[in-house]
Amino acid sequence: MEAKVVYPFRDKFNENKKVYRKGDTFKGTKERVASLIAKGFLKDESKQLTPKEDEPEKLVEEKEQEQDGPVHVGGGYYELPNGEKVKGKANAQEAFEALENE
């Protein structure tokens, strides 16, 4: 079984006491890999989710549907559901209401 090293360590069970650095691939028994994953030296790649190509589009659509008003993005600016940025809360509220009436 293989896993990616996320924290450097020296393999004390290897007869050469090999040093593994971040980014290396560790090959060993299932039990040894599980032990090193539990200790935080290796990354469990079996639990990673593979992103789907259409997920970002779904997230953007959900974000637009959930907005009840303009979203504050900092510096006095607000983002409207259509992606437009407006300065000032009052201006943003007016623009949002105008979007809803269209």
**Is the CB of residue 11 less than 8 Å from the CB of residue 20?**
yes
Which tokens belong to 15?
Answer: 């007869």
Query: How does pLDDT run across 3-30, given as a tens digit for each residue?
Result: 999 999 998 888 888 999 999 999 888 8
0.85 exceeded by the pTM?
A: no
Look at residue 19 in the predicted model and tell me its pLDDT.
93
Write the CB contacts of 60 (distance below 8 Å, at least 6 apart in sequence).
none
Provide the H-helix boundaries in the chain: 30-39, 55-66, 89-101
d(CA 22, CA 34): 17
Spans of the chain, pLDDT less than 50: none
Query: What does the pLDDT read at residue 50?
Result: 55
